[in-house]
Chain A
Protein backbone atom coordinates (compact mmCIF):
# COMPACT_ATOMS: atom_id res chain seq x y z
CA UNK A 1 0.00 0.00 0.00
CA UNK A 2 1.16 3.47 -0.83
CA UNK A 3 1.41 5.68 2.22
CA UNK A 4 2.86 9.10 2.35
CA UNK A 5 5.53 8.27 4.86
CA UNK A 6 7.31 6.09 2.32
CA UNK A 7 6.29 7.93 -0.82
CA UNK A 8 9.42 9.44 -2.36
CA UNK A 9 7.58 10.61 -5.45
CA UNK A 10 5.26 12.75 -3.40
CA UNK A 11 8.05 13.94 -1.09
CA UNK A 12 10.22 15.14 -3.98
CA UNK A 13 7.26 16.91 -5.56
CA UNK A 14 6.68 18.73 -2.26
CA UNK A 15 10.38 19.66 -2.21
CA UNK A 16 9.92 21.38 -5.57
CA UNK A 17 6.76 23.16 -4.46
CA UNK A 18 8.45 24.25 -1.25
CA UNK A 19 10.96 26.28 -3.27
CA UNK A 20 8.17 28.49 -4.53
CA UNK A 21 5.57 28.67 -1.81
CA UNK A 22 5.12 27.88 1.83
CA UNK A 23 3.55 24.46 2.14
CA UNK A 24 0.47 23.93 4.29
CA UNK A 25 1.34 22.74 7.78
CA UNK A 26 0.17 19.16 7.22
CA UNK A 27 2.39 18.80 4.16
CA UNK A 28 5.35 20.38 5.92
CA UNK A 29 5.04 17.82 8.69
CA UNK A 30 4.66 14.93 6.27
CA UNK A 31 7.74 16.05 4.40
CA UNK A 32 9.72 16.51 7.60
CA UNK A 33 8.82 13.01 8.74
CA UNK A 34 9.72 11.54 5.36
CA UNK A 35 13.07 13.30 5.23
CA UNK A 36 14.00 11.95 8.65
CA UNK A 37 13.63 8.45 7.29
CA UNK A 38 14.77 8.71 3.69
CA UNK A 39 18.41 9.43 2.86
CA UNK A 40 17.74 9.57 -0.89
CA UNK A 41 15.15 12.29 -0.51
CA UNK A 42 17.42 14.17 1.91
CA UNK A 43 19.98 14.21 -0.87
CA UNK A 44 17.32 15.34 -3.31
CA UNK A 45 16.36 18.16 -0.96
CA UNK A 46 19.95 19.43 -0.90
CA UNK A 47 20.66 18.93 -4.59
CA UNK A 48 17.47 20.39 -5.97
CA UNK A 49 18.10 24.01 -4.91
CA UNK A 50 21.77 23.57 -5.88
CA UNK A 51 20.62 22.63 -9.35
CA UNK A 52 18.42 25.73 -9.51
CA UNK A 53 21.40 27.89 -8.53
CA UNK A 54 23.55 26.21 -11.14
CA UNK A 55 20.93 26.88 -13.79
CA UNK A 56 20.86 30.53 -12.82
CA UNK A 57 24.65 30.73 -12.98
CA UNK A 58 24.76 28.98 -16.34
CA UNK A 59 22.27 31.48 -17.76
CA UNK A 60 24.44 34.35 -16.53
CA UNK A 61 27.72 32.81 -17.57
CA UNK A 62 29.98 35.30 -19.30
CA UNK A 63 30.00 34.85 -23.02
CA UNK A 64 31.99 36.46 -25.78
CA UNK A 65 29.39 35.86 -28.47
CA UNK A 66 28.82 38.73 -30.86
CA UNK A 67 26.03 39.46 -33.27
CA UNK A 68 27.06 38.27 -36.73
CA UNK A 69 28.27 41.37 -38.66
CA UNK A 70 25.93 40.88 -41.64
CA UNK A 71 22.93 40.57 -39.40
CA UNK A 72 23.98 43.57 -37.33
CA UNK A 73 24.49 45.68 -40.45
CA UNK A 74 21.02 44.80 -41.69
CA UNK A 75 19.49 45.69 -38.35
CA UNK A 76 21.47 48.90 -38.20
CA UNK A 77 19.91 50.06 -41.47
CA UNK A 78 16.46 49.67 -39.97
CA UNK A 79 17.43 51.59 -36.88
CA UNK A 80 18.93 54.41 -38.92
CA UNK A 81 15.72 55.05 -40.83
CA UNK A 82 12.86 54.54 -38.43
CA UNK A 83 9.38 54.62 -39.87
Chain B
Protein backbone atom coordinates (compact mmCIF):
# COMPACT_ATOMS: atom_id res chain seq x y z
CA UNK B 1 0.00 0.00 0.00
CA UNK B 2 1.21 3.46 -0.62
CA UNK B 3 1.03 6.57 1.45
CA UNK B 4 -1.74 8.44 -0.30
CA UNK B 5 -4.13 5.53 -0.36
CA UNK B 6 -3.29 4.87 3.23
CA UNK B 7 -4.17 8.45 3.93
CA UNK B 8 -7.54 7.97 2.32
CA UNK B 9 -8.14 4.66 4.03
CA UNK B 10 -6.94 6.17 7.26
CA UNK B 11 -9.20 9.16 6.85
CA UNK B 12 -12.19 6.93 6.26
CA UNK B 13 -11.26 4.69 9.15
CA UNK B 14 -10.70 7.64 11.42
CA UNK B 15 -13.96 9.26 10.51
CA UNK B 16 -15.71 5.98 11.24
CA UNK B 17 -14.15 5.66 14.64
CA UNK B 18 -14.69 9.26 15.56
CA UNK B 19 -18.18 9.37 14.15
CA UNK B 20 -19.14 6.56 16.47
CA UNK B 21 -17.33 8.01 19.42
CA UNK B 22 -18.92 11.41 18.97
CA UNK B 23 -22.39 10.21 19.87
CA UNK B 24 -21.62 9.75 23.52
CA UNK B 25 -19.48 12.78 23.98
CA UNK B 26 -20.90 15.90 25.58
CA UNK B 27 -18.72 18.97 25.82
CA UNK B 28 -19.17 21.00 28.96
CA UNK B 29 -19.76 24.70 28.52
CA UNK B 30 -16.32 25.83 29.52
CA UNK B 31 -14.69 29.16 28.97
CA UNK B 32 -12.03 29.14 26.34
CA UNK B 33 -8.53 29.31 27.75
CA UNK B 34 -7.11 27.80 24.62
CA UNK B 35 -8.33 28.40 21.10
CA UNK B 36 -7.45 25.89 18.44
CA UNK B 37 -6.70 27.26 14.99
CA UNK B 38 -5.86 25.77 11.62
CA UNK B 39 -4.27 27.91 8.95
CA UNK B 40 -1.95 28.02 6.00
CA UNK B 41 1.83 27.95 6.26
CA UNK B 42 4.39 29.08 3.71
CA UNK B 43 7.61 27.98 5.39
CA UNK B 44 8.51 25.98 8.45
CA UNK B 45 6.07 25.89 11.35
CA UNK B 46 6.77 28.34 14.18
CA UNK B 47 7.69 27.09 17.62
CA UNK B 48 4.59 27.24 19.88
CA UNK B 49 6.84 28.61 22.59
CA UNK B 50 8.54 31.04 20.24
CA UNK B 51 8.65 34.80 20.72
CA UNK B 52 5.89 35.52 18.24
CA UNK B 53 3.33 33.16 19.67
CA UNK B 54 4.12 34.32 23.20
CA UNK B 55 3.62 37.93 22.14
CA UNK B 56 0.28 37.17 20.50
CA UNK B 57 -0.95 35.13 23.45
CA UNK B 58 -0.03 37.99 25.75
CA UNK B 59 -2.04 40.39 23.62
CA UNK B 60 -5.21 38.31 23.46
CA UNK B 61 -4.92 36.83 26.95
CA UNK B 62 -5.52 33.31 25.71
CA UNK B 63 -3.46 30.38 24.57
CA UNK B 64 -3.36 29.45 20.93
CA UNK B 65 -3.02 25.90 19.67
CA UNK B 66 -2.25 26.32 15.99
CA UNK B 67 -2.14 23.59 13.37
CA UNK B 68 0.11 24.86 10.60
CA UNK B 69 -0.57 23.24 7.23
CA UNK B 70 1.71 23.77 4.23
CA UNK B 71 -0.07 25.91 1.69
CA UNK B 72 0.21 23.39 -1.14
CA UNK B 73 -1.60 20.70 0.88
CA UNK B 74 -4.16 23.01 2.43
CA UNK B 75 -7.16 22.02 0.31
CA UNK B 76 -6.59 18.31 0.97
CA UNK B 77 -6.00 18.81 4.66
CA UNK B 78 -9.11 20.95 4.95
CA UNK B 79 -11.25 18.20 3.43
CA UNK B 80 -9.73 15.54 5.65
CA UNK B 81 -10.22 17.75 8.69
CA UNK B 82 -13.84 18.37 7.78
CA UNK B 83 -14.33 14.60 7.57
CA UNK B 84 -12.84 14.09 11.00
CA UNK B 85 -14.38 14.93 14.30
CA UNK B 86 -11.56 17.20 15.22
CA UNK B 87 -12.37 20.51 13.62
CA UNK B 88 -10.45 23.41 15.18
CA UNK B 89 -12.39 26.29 16.74
CA UNK B 90 -11.13 28.71 14.14
CA UNK B 91 -10.39 27.52 10.65
CA UNK B 92 -9.06 29.25 7.56
CA UNK B 93 -11.24 27.89 4.78
CA UNK B 94 -12.03 28.34 1.13
CA UNK B 95 -15.71 28.99 1.66
CA UNK B 96 -16.60 27.90 -1.88
CA UNK B 97 -14.98 24.46 -1.66
CA UNK B 98 -17.74 21.82 -1.97
CA UNK B 99 -16.86 20.03 1.27
CA UNK B 100 -16.93 23.31 3.19
CA UNK B 101 -20.22 24.39 1.65
CA UNK B 102 -21.77 21.04 2.59
CA UNK B 103 -20.42 21.18 6.12
CA UNK B 104 -21.44 24.81 6.65
CA UNK B 105 -24.95 24.40 5.32
CA UNK B 106 -25.35 21.26 7.44
CA UNK B 107 -24.56 23.41 10.47
CA UNK B 108 -20.92 22.63 11.20
CA UNK B 109 -19.98 26.30 11.30
CA UNK B 110 -21.52 29.40 12.82
CA UNK B 111 -23.63 31.53 10.55
CA UNK B 112 -22.13 34.94 11.27
CA UNK B 113 -24.51 36.96 9.10
CA UNK B 114 -25.35 40.12 11.06
CA UNK B 115 -23.32 39.02 14.06
CA UNK B 116 -20.07 40.80 13.30
CA UNK B 117 -21.21 44.41 13.48
CA UNK B 118 -20.63 44.74 17.20
CA UNK B 119 -16.96 43.83 16.87
CA UNK B 120 -15.20 46.92 15.50
CA UNK B 121 -12.26 45.01 14.02
CA UNK B 122 -14.27 42.16 12.57
CA UNK B 123 -16.98 44.29 11.00
CA UNK B 124 -16.72 44.07 7.23
CA UNK B 125 -14.67 46.94 5.86
CA UNK B 126 -16.52 46.53 2.58
CA UNK B 127 -20.06 45.20 2.32
CA UNK B 128 -19.68 44.02 -1.26
CA UNK B 129 -16.62 41.96 -0.39
CA UNK B 130 -18.44 40.53 2.59
CA UNK B 131 -21.25 39.47 0.29
CA UNK B 132 -18.75 38.00 -2.16
CA UNK B 133 -17.30 35.89 0.62
CA UNK B 134 -20.72 34.51 1.53
CA UNK B 135 -22.39 31.27 0.55
CA UNK B 136 -25.50 32.43 -1.29
CA UNK B 137 -25.84 35.45 0.97
CA UNK B 138 -24.98 33.76 4.26
CA UNK B 139 -21.70 34.68 5.87
CA UNK B 140 -19.89 31.73 7.40
CA UNK B 141 -16.58 33.41 8.06
CA UNK B 142 -14.61 36.60 8.48
CA UNK B 143 -12.94 37.29 5.17
CA UNK B 144 -9.21 37.82 4.99
CA UNK B 145 -8.98 41.05 3.05
CA UNK B 146 -6.64 41.40 0.08
CA UNK B 147 -6.19 44.23 -2.41
CA UNK B 148 -8.91 44.10 -5.03
CA UNK B 149 -6.71 44.71 -8.01
CA UNK B 150 -3.51 42.75 -7.87
CA UNK B 151 -3.03 41.64 -11.47
CA UNK B 152 0.01 43.13 -13.20
CA UNK B 153 2.74 42.41 -15.71
CA UNK B 154 6.31 42.10 -14.49
CA UNK B 155 9.09 42.70 -17.02
CA UNK B 156 12.86 42.65 -17.21
CA UNK B 157 13.71 46.35 -17.07
CA UNK B 158 17.29 45.91 -18.27
CA UNK B 159 16.17 43.91 -21.31
CA UNK B 160 13.69 46.62 -22.29
CA UNK B 161 16.43 49.21 -22.00
CA UNK B 162 18.93 47.16 -23.98
CA UNK B 163 16.52 46.70 -26.87
CA UNK B 164 15.29 50.28 -26.69
CA UNK B 165 11.70 49.28 -25.96
CA UNK B 166 9.00 51.12 -24.06
CA UNK B 167 6.96 49.59 -21.28
CA UNK B 168 3.97 47.94 -22.96
CA UNK B 169 0.55 49.58 -22.72
CA UNK B 170 -1.49 47.33 -25.00
CA UNK B 171 -1.60 43.64 -25.82
CA UNK B 172 0.10 44.40 -29.14
CA UNK B 173 2.96 46.15 -27.34
CA UNK B 174 3.32 43.11 -25.12
CA UNK B 175 3.51 40.85 -28.16
CA UNK B 176 6.24 43.00 -29.67
CA UNK B 177 8.20 42.99 -26.43
CA UNK B 178 7.90 39.21 -26.16
CA UNK B 179 9.00 38.81 -29.77
CA UNK B 180 11.99 41.08 -29.22
CA UNK B 181 12.88 39.25 -25.98
CA UNK B 182 12.87 36.01 -27.94
CA UNK B 183 14.60 37.04 -31.13
CA UNK B 184 16.86 40.00 -30.43
CA UNK B 185 19.13 38.48 -27.80
CA UNK B 186 18.27 40.79 -24.88
CA UNK B 187 20.93 39.30 -22.62
CA UNK B 188 23.59 39.96 -25.23
CA UNK B 189 25.31 36.59 -25.08
CA UNK B 190 25.11 36.12 -28.83
CA UNK B 191 22.78 33.16 -28.54
CA UNK B 192 19.07 32.93 -29.17
CA UNK B 193 18.37 31.39 -25.80
CA UNK B 194 15.74 33.64 -24.27
CA UNK B 195 11.99 33.89 -24.54
CA UNK B 196 9.26 36.31 -23.63
CA UNK B 197 6.53 35.09 -21.36
CA UNK B 198 6.91 32.62 -18.48
CA UNK B 199 3.73 30.80 -17.48
CA UNK B 200 3.33 27.77 -15.26
CA UNK B 201 0.65 25.14 -15.37
CA UNK B 202 -2.02 26.51 -13.09
CA UNK B 203 -3.21 24.42 -10.17
CA UNK B 204 -6.58 26.14 -9.85
CA UNK B 205 -9.88 25.98 -11.67
CA UNK B 206 -11.17 28.21 -14.40
CA UNK B 207 -11.37 31.87 -13.31
CA UNK B 208 -8.92 31.41 -10.47
CA UNK B 209 -6.83 34.48 -11.34
CA UNK B 210 -4.34 32.61 -13.48
CA UNK B 211 -2.33 34.40 -16.19
CA UNK B 212 -4.69 32.78 -18.68
CA UNK B 213 -7.70 34.33 -16.97
CA UNK B 214 -5.97 37.71 -16.86
CA UNK B 215 -5.29 37.67 -20.59
CA UNK B 216 -8.86 36.64 -21.37
CA UNK B 217 -10.13 39.57 -19.33
CA UNK B 218 -7.88 41.95 -21.28
CA UNK B 219 -9.66 40.80 -24.41
CA UNK B 220 -13.04 41.55 -22.88
CA UNK B 221 -14.10 38.10 -21.69
CA UNK B 222 -16.05 38.09 -18.41
CA UNK B 223 -14.21 37.46 -15.19
CA UNK B 224 -15.72 34.09 -14.36
CA UNK B 225 -19.35 34.98 -14.99
CA UNK B 226 -20.56 37.91 -17.08
CA UNK B 227 -23.77 39.24 -18.48
CA UNK B 228 -24.57 38.54 -22.12
CA UNK B 229 -28.07 39.32 -23.45
CA UNK B 230 -29.43 39.76 -19.95
CA UNK B 231 -28.24 36.39 -18.72
CA UNK B 232 -25.14 35.33 -16.87
CA UNK B 233 -22.80 33.14 -18.88
CA UNK B 234 -19.45 31.57 -18.12
CA UNK B 235 -16.49 33.50 -19.49
CA UNK B 236 -15.40 30.55 -21.59
CA UNK B 237 -18.64 30.63 -23.49
CA UNK B 238 -17.86 33.98 -25.13
CA UNK B 239 -16.09 34.81 -28.38
CA UNK B 240 -13.65 37.01 -26.46
CA UNK B 241 -12.41 33.89 -24.71
CA UNK B 242 -11.53 32.26 -28.01
CA UNK B 243 -9.96 35.44 -29.38
CA UNK B 244 -7.72 35.73 -26.34
CA UNK B 245 -6.64 32.11 -26.51
CA UNK B 246 -6.05 32.25 -30.24
CA UNK B 247 -3.77 35.20 -29.55
CA UNK B 248 -1.88 33.36 -26.83
CA UNK B 249 -1.62 30.23 -28.95
CA UNK B 250 0.22 32.28 -31.56
CA UNK B 251 2.77 33.11 -28.88
CA UNK B 252 3.20 29.44 -28.06
CA UNK B 253 3.54 28.53 -31.74
CA UNK B 254 6.16 31.22 -32.26
CA UNK B 255 8.14 30.11 -29.23
CA UNK B 256 7.57 33.28 -27.22
CA UNK B 257 6.49 31.22 -24.19
CA UNK B 258 8.47 28.70 -22.15
CA UNK B 259 8.12 25.33 -23.86
CA UNK B 260 7.22 23.49 -20.69
CA UNK B 261 4.39 25.81 -19.67
CA UNK B 262 1.96 22.91 -19.47
CA UNK B 263 4.05 21.11 -16.89
CA UNK B 264 6.03 23.88 -15.15
CA UNK B 265 5.21 23.86 -11.46
CA UNK B 266 4.17 27.27 -10.18
CA UNK B 267 6.67 26.85 -7.35
CA UNK B 268 9.42 27.32 -9.95
CA UNK B 269 7.78 30.26 -11.62
CA UNK B 270 10.43 32.81 -10.70
CA UNK B 271 13.44 30.74 -11.70
CA UNK B 272 13.52 31.40 -15.43
CA UNK B 273 13.04 35.12 -14.82
CA UNK B 274 15.80 35.41 -12.25
CA UNK B 275 18.14 33.22 -14.32
CA UNK B 276 17.60 35.44 -17.33
CA UNK B 277 15.86 32.91 -19.54
CA UNK B 278 12.51 34.64 -19.79
CA UNK B 279 11.48 38.23 -19.36
CA UNK B 280 7.73 38.59 -18.70
CA UNK B 281 5.51 37.30 -15.92
CA UNK B 282 1.79 37.97 -15.65
CA UNK B 283 0.65 37.50 -12.05
CA UNK B 284 -0.15 39.35 -8.84
CA UNK B 285 1.83 42.54 -8.36
CA UNK B 286 3.40 41.16 -5.15
CA UNK B 287 5.51 38.99 -7.45
CA UNK B 288 7.27 42.16 -8.58
CA UNK B 289 8.68 42.72 -5.10
CA UNK B 290 9.40 39.03 -4.79
CA UNK B 291 11.39 39.05 -8.05
CA UNK B 292 13.26 42.17 -7.04
CA UNK B 293 14.29 40.59 -3.74
CA UNK B 294 15.49 37.48 -5.57
CA UNK B 295 17.43 39.55 -8.06
CA UNK B 296 19.13 41.21 -5.14
CA UNK B 297 20.01 37.87 -3.59
CA UNK B 298 21.59 36.83 -6.86
CA UNK B 299 23.49 40.02 -7.48
CA UNK B 300 23.55 42.50 -4.58
CA UNK B 301 25.34 45.13 -6.66
CA UNK B 302 23.14 45.48 -9.70
CA UNK B 303 19.68 44.17 -9.17
CA UNK B 304 17.44 46.98 -10.41
CA UNK B 305 16.11 44.79 -13.21
CA UNK B 306 12.39 44.49 -12.54
CA UNK B 307 9.64 46.78 -13.67
CA UNK B 308 5.90 46.45 -13.63
CA UNK B 309 2.92 47.65 -15.65
CA UNK B 310 -0.75 47.18 -14.93
CA UNK B 311 -3.44 45.57 -17.05
CA UNK B 312 -3.18 46.12 -20.79
CA UNK B 313 -5.40 47.69 -23.45
CA UNK B 314 -6.99 45.69 -26.23
CA UNK B 315 -5.96 46.47 -29.83
CA UNK B 316 -8.99 48.73 -30.25
CA UNK B 317 -7.91 50.80 -27.25
CA UNK B 318 -10.50 49.47 -24.84
CA UNK B 319 -9.21 48.37 -21.49
CA UNK B 320 -10.48 45.68 -19.16
CA UNK B 321 -8.70 44.86 -15.90
CA UNK B 322 -8.92 41.72 -13.84
CA UNK B 323 -9.87 42.38 -10.23
CA UNK B 324 -9.52 39.70 -7.62
CA UNK B 325 -12.16 38.82 -5.10
CA UNK B 326 -10.89 41.33 -2.56
CA UNK B 327 -10.30 38.58 -0.04
CA UNK B 328 -8.61 35.25 0.28
CA UNK B 329 -10.42 32.58 2.32
CA UNK B 330 -12.38 33.22 5.49
CA UNK B 331 -11.91 32.49 9.18
CA UNK B 332 -14.77 30.15 10.00
CA UNK B 333 -15.79 29.23 13.54
CA UNK B 334 -16.64 25.62 14.19
CA UNK B 335 -19.70 24.61 16.18
CA UNK B 336 -18.06 21.48 17.41
CA UNK B 337 -16.61 22.96 20.57
CA UNK B 338 -17.97 26.51 20.35
CA UNK B 339 -21.50 25.51 21.23
CA UNK B 340 -23.34 28.46 22.74
CA UNK B 341 -23.78 32.10 21.80
CA UNK B 342 -21.72 33.07 24.87
CA UNK B 343 -18.85 30.89 23.74
CA UNK B 344 -19.12 32.34 20.28
CA UNK B 345 -18.99 35.82 21.75
CA UNK B 346 -15.91 34.81 23.73
CA UNK B 347 -14.13 33.58 20.59
CA UNK B 348 -15.20 36.57 18.50
CA UNK B 349 -14.06 39.01 21.20
CA UNK B 350 -10.68 37.31 21.19
CA UNK B 351 -10.48 37.45 17.40
CA UNK B 352 -11.46 41.11 17.57
CA UNK B 353 -8.49 41.76 19.84
CA UNK B 354 -6.27 39.80 17.47
CA UNK B 355 -7.38 41.90 14.49
CA UNK B 356 -7.04 45.25 16.27
CA UNK B 357 -4.49 47.81 15.12
CA UNK B 358 -2.03 46.43 17.61
CA UNK B 359 -2.78 42.82 16.72
CA UNK B 360 -2.57 43.40 12.98
CA UNK B 361 0.79 45.08 13.39
CA UNK B 362 1.96 42.11 15.41
CA UNK B 363 0.72 39.56 12.86
CA UNK B 364 1.99 41.45 9.83
CA UNK B 365 5.02 43.48 10.93
CA UNK B 366 6.27 41.54 13.92
CA UNK B 367 7.48 42.72 17.31
CA UNK B 368 8.22 46.42 17.53
CA UNK B 369 11.83 47.03 18.49
CA UNK B 370 12.77 43.41 17.85
CA UNK B 371 12.55 42.83 14.10
CA UNK B 372 11.32 46.26 13.01
CA UNK B 373 11.14 49.83 14.17
CA UNK B 374 8.88 52.67 13.16
CA UNK B 375 10.20 55.48 11.04
CA UNK B 376 7.70 58.12 9.90
CA UNK B 377 4.88 55.64 10.37
CA UNK B 378 6.63 53.01 8.24
CA UNK B 379 8.12 49.75 9.41
CA UNK B 380 11.86 49.43 8.86
CA UNK B 381 13.38 46.00 9.36
CA UNK B 382 16.14 45.86 11.96
CA UNK B 383 18.53 43.31 13.50
CA UNK B 384 18.05 41.01 10.54
CA UNK B 385 21.50 39.46 11.03
CA UNK B 386 20.58 38.17 14.47
CA UNK B 387 19.47 34.52 14.07
CA UNK B 388 16.80 34.87 16.77
CA UNK B 389 15.34 37.91 15.02
CA UNK B 390 15.45 36.07 11.74
CA UNK B 391 13.24 33.43 13.30
CA UNK B 392 10.77 36.12 14.38
CA UNK B 393 10.79 37.64 10.91
CA UNK B 394 10.23 34.25 9.27
CA UNK B 395 7.44 33.37 11.68
CA UNK B 396 5.69 36.61 10.75
CA UNK B 397 6.15 36.50 6.99
CA UNK B 398 5.59 32.81 6.41
CA UNK B 399 3.11 31.96 9.13
CA UNK B 400 1.36 34.38 11.47
CA UNK B 401 0.33 36.82 8.77
CA UNK B 402 -2.04 34.02 7.68
CA UNK B 403 -4.30 34.32 10.74
CA UNK B 404 -4.74 38.04 10.18
CA UNK B 405 -7.86 39.23 8.39
CA UNK B 406 -6.61 42.73 7.75
CA UNK B 407 -3.12 42.02 6.48
CA UNK B 408 -1.64 43.44 3.30
CA UNK B 409 -4.00 46.36 2.68
CA UNK B 410 -2.94 48.81 5.35
CA UNK B 411 -6.08 48.49 7.45
CA UNK B 412 -4.12 47.59 10.52
CA UNK B 413 -0.43 47.18 10.09
CA UNK B 414 2.33 49.60 9.14
CA UNK B 415 3.50 49.89 5.56
CA UNK B 416 7.00 48.64 4.86
CA UNK B 417 10.00 50.75 4.13
CA UNK B 418 12.47 48.89 1.96
CA UNK B 419 16.21 49.39 2.39
CA UNK B 420 16.78 49.96 -1.33
CA UNK B 421 15.14 52.45 -3.57
CA UNK B 422 14.23 50.25 -6.51
CA UNK B 423 12.28 47.71 -4.45
CA UNK B 424 10.57 50.57 -2.63
CA UNK B 425 9.60 52.13 -5.94
CA UNK B 426 8.20 48.85 -7.17
CA UNK B 427 6.27 48.50 -3.94
CA UNK B 428 4.81 52.00 -4.18
CA UNK B 429 4.00 51.45 -7.84
CA UNK B 430 1.46 48.81 -6.83
CA UNK B 431 -0.94 51.37 -5.38
CA UNK B 432 -0.68 53.64 -8.40
CA UNK B 433 -1.36 50.81 -10.83
CA UNK B 434 -4.16 49.43 -8.73
CA UNK B 435 -6.00 52.76 -8.51
CA UNK B 436 -5.62 53.22 -12.24
CA UNK B 437 -6.83 49.72 -13.10
CA UNK B 438 -9.76 49.80 -10.68
CA UNK B 439 -11.46 52.17 -13.12
CA UNK B 440 -11.64 49.43 -15.73
CA UNK B 441 -12.14 46.45 -13.42
CA UNK B 442 -14.43 43.69 -14.66
CA UNK B 443 -16.26 42.30 -11.66
CA UNK B 444 -17.67 38.83 -11.32
CA UNK B 445 -21.36 39.21 -10.41
CA UNK B 446 -21.69 35.58 -9.38
CA UNK B 447 -19.08 35.60 -6.63
CA UNK B 448 -21.52 35.44 -3.69
CA UNK B 449 -23.32 32.36 -4.95
CA UNK B 450 -22.50 28.74 -5.44
CA UNK B 451 -24.74 26.52 -7.52
CA UNK B 452 -25.87 23.29 -5.81
CA UNK B 453 -24.86 21.28 -8.87
CA UNK B 454 -21.37 22.73 -8.57
CA UNK B 455 -21.26 21.47 -4.98
CA UNK B 456 -22.29 17.97 -5.98
CA UNK B 457 -20.63 17.69 -9.39
CA UNK B 458 -17.88 20.30 -9.20
CA UNK B 459 -15.36 17.51 -8.87
CA UNK B 460 -15.88 16.36 -12.42
CA UNK B 461 -16.84 19.73 -13.90
CA UNK B 462 -14.05 21.94 -12.65
CA UNK B 463 -11.22 20.36 -14.61
CA UNK B 464 -12.83 20.28 -18.04
CA UNK B 465 -12.16 23.85 -19.11
CA UNK B 466 -8.67 24.49 -17.68
CA UNK B 467 -7.46 21.17 -19.11
CA UNK B 468 -8.98 21.85 -22.52
CA UNK B 469 -7.51 25.34 -22.58
CA UNK B 470 -4.02 24.06 -21.86
CA UNK B 471 -4.38 21.37 -24.51
CA UNK B 472 -5.55 23.90 -27.05
CA UNK B 473 -2.66 26.23 -26.28
CA UNK B 474 -0.10 23.47 -26.54
CA UNK B 475 -1.55 22.41 -29.87
CA UNK B 476 -2.93 19.04 -28.84
CA UNK B 477 -6.49 19.94 -29.77
CA UNK B 478 -7.99 22.33 -32.31
CA UNK B 479 -10.31 25.23 -31.63
CA UNK B 480 -13.19 23.03 -32.78
CA UNK B 481 -12.29 20.47 -30.14
CA UNK B 482 -11.99 23.22 -27.55
CA UNK B 483 -15.54 24.29 -28.39
CA UNK B 484 -16.61 20.68 -28.11
CA UNK B 485 -15.13 20.55 -24.62
CA UNK B 486 -17.16 23.62 -23.65
CA UNK B 487 -20.19 21.75 -24.92
CA UNK B 488 -19.17 18.75 -22.85
CA UNK B 489 -19.05 21.03 -19.80
CA UNK B 490 -22.66 22.00 -20.41
CA UNK B 491 -23.71 18.41 -20.94
CA UNK B 492 -21.95 17.14 -17.81
CA UNK B 493 -23.96 19.46 -15.58
CA UNK B 494 -22.94 22.93 -16.72
CA UNK B 495 -26.43 23.65 -18.01
CA UNK B 496 -27.83 23.19 -14.51
CA UNK B 497 -24.98 25.21 -13.01
CA UNK B 498 -25.74 28.10 -15.35
CA UNK B 499 -29.46 27.97 -14.59
CA UNK B 500 -28.93 27.78 -10.84
CA UNK B 501 -26.34 30.54 -10.83
CA UNK B 502 -28.69 32.85 -12.71
CA UNK B 503 -31.50 32.08 -10.26
CA UNK B 504 -29.35 32.57 -7.19
CA UNK B 505 -27.83 35.84 -8.39
CA UNK B 506 -31.28 37.27 -9.17
CA UNK B 507 -32.28 36.58 -5.55
CA UNK B 508 -29.28 38.39 -4.05
CA UNK B 509 -29.79 41.72 -2.28
CA UNK B 510 -28.96 44.41 -4.79
Judge: A and B partners, yes or no: no
Residues of A within 8 A of B (CB): none
